[in-house]
Every structure is written in structure tokens, then in C-alpha cells.
Structure 1
Amino acid sequence: MQSFKKISAFLMAFVVLFSTMSFSFSEHFCGDHLVDIAFFSKAESCGMAMETASNDSDCNAIKKDCCSDQIQQIEGQSNLKIDFKNLTLEQQQFVVAYTYSYLNLFESFDNNVTAFQNYSPPLVEKDLNVLYRVFRI
């Protein structure tokens, strides 16, 4: 039972972590073929990218680049905070009662009360273990 609680707490922590985390991955295509995929960074080029024409060139022909990059982002949740302004009266009463009872669990008594402090034990007239022949091993 204890290991089940630990495993379930561990799994719930991962669910919260991955639901709030944002991911991005980049893909580099050369024509219709996927060349590279990169997570959290830009994908590497295949080296076949066309150079842009300079202003001094006398060539007016524009060649289309066969390579393309696609960047996809997966956004995580950002609103995990509970807004206490929107609680109903019953929910507010429950929160107050739960907090009060939870905090009272950890209060300790200032002094230890012993009821037999002023009383002495009874006098033993006979040894009952020997009389009834009952011995603990």
C-alpha cells in the first residue's frame, strides 16, 4: 500500500510537470524529404540552401529554394493557480474548517499529565508468579 502511494504521487507529479511544460521542435525538409528533427533548438540544414542574390548582380532570374524549415510549438497550461475570489460560501467554509482541523493536528500539550504521580504501587505480599507457577520466557 505504501509503495502504491509513492508510485501514484510520482506519476501525478510527472503529469503536472508535463502538462505545464511547453515544447518546440523544428523540422528541416529538403524538397519533400525530411532531413533533420531537433527538439528545443533549430534543425540543422542539409547544406543545399540557395544563396540570396546580391544587388550588384546583373542576373534578374530568381531561383526558388528547395529547402524549408517548419517550427512547431506545443504550449502547456499556464493557469494552474486557483482563484479564491470565486469560491462559494460552502467552499469557503470547507477551506476554513479543513485548515483549522489540520493545524490543530500538530499542536502539542505543554505538560505531561500523569494520573499516578502521587500514588505509590501496592505492596507485594506474595510472589504471584511463583505461587501460580507462571513464568515468561
Structure 2
Amino acid sequence: MDKDGPDLDERDPEDINGHVRVLFEDAFAEPEGSHTIDGVWTCSYKTFWAMKNCCYIVMSVLCGGPCACMWGLMFACQSMINIWCIRPCCRFYEINISCCAACIRTTVQCYLNPFCDAYSRLFSNIKFHHEYEVV
């Protein structure tokens, strides 16, 4: 949305609600040999579109504003919680865990590295010889 308002022509530019697009042909189809009278098919087509559009408009008018208000509030709360609670808590944790990581790193280097070095020297002279036998 820019400073002039929402784009009234392209209302779903990212196609995030493409899965809800329903055409008459998506819901109704008569196979060959099972056709109604052309007038019934045409009337059904017009009735489907009229009811779908009319109901959507009525529900949008009644629920659109309150839903927009509710979702605006929800996203505002989510932003506030992330900005003022979660991210500072994560940063606090990162700072404290870095001290623990330094202690663990030092402990591993002091106690485990000598054993690993000794075992690597102990097993470094072992040689494997493998031959494939063709049958």
C-alpha cells in the first residue's frame, strides 16, 4: 500500500489466496450424454455467480471491518511482543550462553584434547589393506 491507498485493481498481487478462487466450472460439470436444458445450465451459472458475489459482499461488509480491526490488533501485539519481549530475551540468552560456551570450550580443550591426541597417535600407524576378489 502506498500513500494513495490500496490498489483497487490488483487486490492479491502475491496470489496468497489463489487457492480460494472458485469458478462455476470448478464446481459443476456435465459429462457428455448427461446435459440439462441449456436454459437450466445458463440459469444455474447466473444463480451461482449472483449468490456467490452477493453473499461475499454482504459478509465482507458485515465482517470486513471487525476482522481487519482484529487482525491489525493481533499483528500489532505480535510485533510488540517480538520487539519488546522475545528479541531482548533472546539477546540476553545469547550473551549469557557465550560465557558458558567459553567455559565448555576450555574444559574440552584441557581434558579431552590430550586423550584424543594420544588415541590418534596410538592408532595412526594402523594400515588397512583391502582387496576385491572377483568371482
Per the TM superposition, whether the score is higher than 0.5 is no
Q: TM-score with structure 1 length normalisation?
A: 0.25
Higher strand fraction: Structure 1 or Structure 2? 1
Higher relative contact order (CA 8 A, sep 6+): 1
